[in-house]
Chain A
Amino acid sequence: MSFMGIKLITRFYCSFENVVPRVCIVGSGPAGFYAAMHLCKKLNNVHIDILEKLPVPFGLVRYGVAPDHPEVKNVINQFTKVANKPNVNFYGNIALGKDIDLLQLRQHYDAVLLTYGAEEDKTLGIENEEANNIVAARNFVGWYNGHPRDKDLKIDLSGTTAAILGQGNVALDVARMLLTPIDILRKTDITEHALAALADSKVKELYLIGRRGPLQVAFTIKELREQLNLPNCKTVWREQDFEGVSSVVSKLGRPRKRLTELMLKSVSESSNINIMPGDKCFKPIFFRSPNKFLTDNMNHVTGIELTCNRLEGDNLEYQKCIATDEKEFLDCSLVFRSIGYTSVKVDKDIIFDTNGFVTNDKGRVIEDNVSSLAKLYVAGWLGTGPAGVILHTMSNAFLVAKTICEDLKDCKNLSSKGGFQEVRKILLKSNQSHIIVDWNGWEKIDNYEVELGKKYGKPREKLCSISKMLEIASS
């Protein structure tokens, strides 16, 4: 009996020594953390390292989700539990493609999962797009959320009329930040620099411009309802945009149907609306594409030339828009471009498809397999495209993690890989003083920010300087 026991123990020990697979996850947003969660749950033995470009974790939960949506950020508690598992490590301030390359990671791990998101703004490619006060929604969002990249954003809020190009949830976030009474924002973790600028904002009239019609909007009902309920803000629609819409509502699927019904209800209320002095106005308009921006002699935007569109196609929700010869001009002194995101090719070995995301099948990156290298996977916005909410990212991350589990279980002869030890060597070789921020370092930053927030009566005041973050983390 005791002999058996010893035998079992040694066996366990051997397999532990030889077979604990090392998984490297690049990017610490929801996709990275949810994948880690699933891997931990399904594999008895696995070692996970999460590498992150910034010194701080959570991706768009920290830098995308609006400050007035603190409830959404509760998900951080689930991620923190994952990070606190003994077999999961977080290493911040390491950028793939800059500090380390993909080939090196694939040499030192058994599986590499890319979850570095979609960081760049899509552009329109039209005349005068570079004019002053045409702002990428992404940078505006980063600015009010304290992303180090955007802290010095140039934005002039002294004009009364602004326009947002795009009708997704990000566009509605931008609208809400501009239209919400400032005293509500004061209680959130919005950055002080944004709060000060928004407190002085003169924007009173905000257009939300969509290429297609009410049946094709990309925003979801929760965000619209929130916008419609904003205090001291009236929503004004163009009734003609809704021609024929009510007759098709009953044919729509439940989510689209409820969303359309809410719009129609608001349209009928807006026809006899009473705009009080001091009210702000939110004005969605449809069937318009920007053709070019108009500017003054200081290269400051003064308006948009819009092309009028009509829709074609049998499937109501997916109709295509066709440009007509008609034009319309909109005067405005501030424009936000919010037409979507695209991923960055951070490393020469990452292959993108024509849609701009990494080509994959259930997360397996499609490529010529080199057996000595770690298999490559992709999850989250980098693999699915930048659409959907955290729930959808979670679902995809679980799917991809399941794929990884299957592959690792099938893989009979894993050779032992160096993992992060090797990564650290590489980092220090090129820069002896490279600071790596581990979870403990993040907790220091976290505490510091919460303390700082107390001074302003906010849940947190984010640090916007990377060097300051590194200083706190290594204190």
Chain B
Amino acid sequence: MFLKNCLRIFSSARIRFLLNNNVKASTFVNYKSVASLSTSKLALESEKVKVTFVLNDGKRLETVANVGDTLLDVVVNNDLNIEGFGACEGTVTCSTCHVILKPEDFERLPEEASDEERDMLDLAYSLTETSRLGCQITLTKELDGLEVKVPETINDARS
């Protein structure tokens, strides 16, 4: 597992390298990640935080992520196998990146959800008081150790 993580970090750093050198290679346009890429390139390489995604079946996906990335970036850059996650690529139009935070983490997020984010959350299954869209949570140093729950993606659409 440790080795795997190291490899992941390596490959995500490589992706970043490519992205920085060739903007066109970026097929993944995300409001917030674009901003972070251009503002703090160097800081990104050095500042890492631990983030854990807890899946519905209890499986834990532990990652080391860059400060300034969104949770969606973390899922994509680490190739985390979360089915259907991030369908609209961070444009706040799909809700497939719905995550549930612990109340204390929810409270310490630097930004509150915008109206647009709340609008999309209203469509999500298993909506809770501490739900957010993963593409709208940007990692800061203070969020080191963040643990989020990814709710079940399988539902009976009729119910």
Contacts and interface: CB of A to CB of B under 8 A. Distances in A.
A220 B123 contact: yes
A398 B155 CA distance: 8
A391 interface: yes
Given A384-B158, A402-B154, A74 B87 contact: yes
Interface in B118-132: 118-120, 122-125, 127
Contact of B27 (A77, A388, A391, A394): A77
B157 A392 contact: yes
A34 B93 contact: no
A362 B93 CA distance: 27
Nearest to B27: A77
B122 A258 contact: yes
B84 A394 contact: yes
B91 A254 contact: no
B84 A396 contact: no
Contacts of B154: 395, 398-399, 402
Interface in A200-232: 220-222, 225
B89 interface: yes
A370 interface: no
A78 B84 contact: yes
A62 to B, nearest CB: 15
B138 interface: no
B116 A394 contact: no
B95 to A, nearest CB: 5
B29 to A, nearest CB: 9
Contacts of B120: 222
Q: Interface residues of A toward B: which range?
A: 35 or more
Given A37-B84, A72-B88, A220-B123, A384 B94 contact: no
Contact of B89 (A74, A255, A389): A74
Nearest to A361: B156
Contact of A72 (B94, B156, B157): B94
Interface string B28-57: 000000000000000000000000000000
A71 B93 contact: yes
Contacts of A181: none
Contact of A221 (B83, B92, B96, B122): B122
A72 B93 contact: yes
A352 to B, nearest CB: 15
A393 B153 CA distance: 11
Given A220-B122, A254-B122, A362 B88 contact: no
Nearest to A385: B158
Contacts of B95: 391
B115 interface: yes
For the complex of A and B, 4 pairs with smallest distance between CB atoms: A71-B91, A255-B122, A396-B157, A395-B155
14 contacts: A69-B93, A72-B93, A74-B89, A75-B87, A77-B89, A220-B119, A221-B119, A391-B87, A392-B155, A394-B87, A395-B153, A398-B154, A399-B157, A402-B154
Given A74-B89, A75-B88, A399-B155, 12 more contacts: A41-B83, A71-B91, A75-B87, A220-B119, A255-B123, A255-B127, A391-B124, A392-B155, A395-B125, A395-B153, A398-B153, A399-B156
Interface of B: 27, 81, 83-84, 87-89, 91-96, 115-116, 118-120, 122-125, 127, 153-158
